[in-house]
Structure 1
Amino acid sequence: MDTYTFDVKVIVDSNSVPVFNYYAPGSDKPLTSEERVVTITGPSIIFYKLIETEFSPAGLKFVGAGFKTPFDGVIENVYVSDNGDTLVLEDLCVDTGTSNFQLLLKTTENNLTLMSPDPQVINKKK
């Protein structure tokens, strides 16, 4: 099974808007929107690891993922680690197609849910 890992940093800008940046693990250079797209050709697991910064909202945790097309068969399962710092997507690559989704997070600052811009997974047959 293939694995893909992304570090996710969320900060709040001067206009109180959450800004999401994605990184290759250990890198300090944000990935472009094209580099964040995951193209799958076989069963895979995708990890999103939350990296806190001094500008992150207090108590930020993953609560899940929201899908625009939840019945397209691209992503089969979503898991959140017990401490909320890791979101895991399971893609068995049974169906072809594209799935757009949003990372969902909560903070201890309020009871509202933050939604990321759209990551994307594309399934292709080998």
Structure 2
Amino acid sequence: MKKTLITLALITASLTAQAATQVEIDQALAPVKTPADLQQLLNAPSPLDALAGNLPLFLDSITGLAQGQNISFDKQLLSAPLTATEVYHILALFGQQTHIAQYQGAAIVTASDTLLLNNTALPVCATNAPIELMVTLDSQKQAQFHYAQAGIECDGNVELTENATITYQLVPQPTSPKGLRLTGAGFTNPFDGHIETVSVSADGQSIQLQNNIQNSGVSKYQFIFATEENDLLLVSPDPEITNRPQN
């Protein structure tokens, strides 16, 4: 019995190690790592053909390829009418197929599309580290909001069982609005007692919200931004906090 338990432990450890390095494996096996790889790909039929008329816009939006850094691109272009399967194959070119859950706007036509997007909602964010907040402009100048922690995208929401300070940190991107800075937060109900104080850093690059766990329930808020693009204020979609006091 002891030998069996040891064997099971070794198998579990091995599977855990494999899961922990899956992103690294995907990136190592990615067909496109350099501009030369991309050019070679464009000389033959490839999953990029599904982009059709949006292909030039997608290629122009790619950053980080020449520098060997994390590759990014306009995610808005990877949505319907592209199917989830088509998006998956495009992501696989850059070793990013494990992020398919981020593309809920893709069309679902086949069983494969359903398999890729079913039950793949983004996880809630934690409060033990700052939540990275990324704001980008797509090809039509529409603002897109993304949240992440330790390189893993989350949905921007938090669930709490004790008092905590929630920190959101702006992370500039190549396509972020010029001079983007936080100015505050607005609330659908500022009198419900969930969030007691809000503070913005002097440089406008981070915001902290202090909650009161004694008031259970959900509170929705929106971040307010200023930019150098114009004098108008930008408002984010609703993140939310859920207080679940422990009895």
TM-score, normalised to structure 2, is 0.47
Shift of 1:40: 1.2
| Residue number among 210, 224, 231 corresponding to 1:111 in the alignment | 231
Structure 2: tracts of 5 or more residues without a match: 1-126
Q: 1:38 aligns to what? A: 158
Equivalent residue for 1:95, pick from 212, 215, 230: 215
Q: Supply the distance in 1 between the matched residues of 2:213 and 2:129 (Cα, whole angstroms).
A: 14
Separation in structure 1 between the aligned mates of residue 129 and residue 209 of structure 2, nearest angstrom: 10
User: Is the CA contact 1:103–1:116 (under 8 Å) kept in the aligned structure 2?
Assistant: yes
CA contact (8 A) 1:96 1:124 kept: yes
1:45-124 equivalence runs, <5 A: 45-124=165-244
Partner of 1:5: 130
Give yes or no for contact 1:96–1:123 (8 Å, CA) kept in 2: yes
RMSD: 1.3
- Provide the aligned length of Structure 1 versus Structure 2: 120
Bigger RCO of structures 1 and 2 (CA < 8 A, at least 6 apart): 1
Query: Which residue identity lines up with residue 211 of structure 2 in the other structure?
Result: D
Q: Conserved in 2, the CA contact under 8 Å of 1:40 and 1:122? A: yes
Contact 1:4 1:45 (8 Å CA) reproduced: no
Say if 2:200 and 2:206, in contact at 8 Å, map to a contact too: yes
Alpha-carbon shift at residue 50 of structure 1 (Å)? 0.2
Moved over 3 A (4+): none
Q: Output the amino acid matched with 2:153.
A: P
What's the offset of the Cα at 1:3? 4.2
Give yes or no for contact 1:3–1:45 (8 Å, CA) kept in 2: no
Deviation at 1:37, TM superposition (A): 2.1
Residue-by-residue CA offset, 1:55-75 (whole Å, 9 max, x unaligned): 001110000011001111000
Compute the displacement of 1:92 (Å): 2.4
Cα distance in structure 2, aligned partners of 1:125 and 1:90: 15
Structure number with greater Rg is: 2
**2:162 aligns to what SS in structure 1?**
coil
Aligned to 1:18: 143
Q: What TM-score do you get using the length of structure 1 for normalisation?
A: 0.89
8 Å CA contact retained: 2:182, 2:206: yes
What residue identity is the alignment partner of 1:18? Answer: A
SS of the residue 1:14 aligns to: coil
Amino acid at match of 1:72: D
Write 1 or 2 for the structure with the bigger share of strand: 1
Unmatched runs of 5 consecutive residues or more in structure 1: none
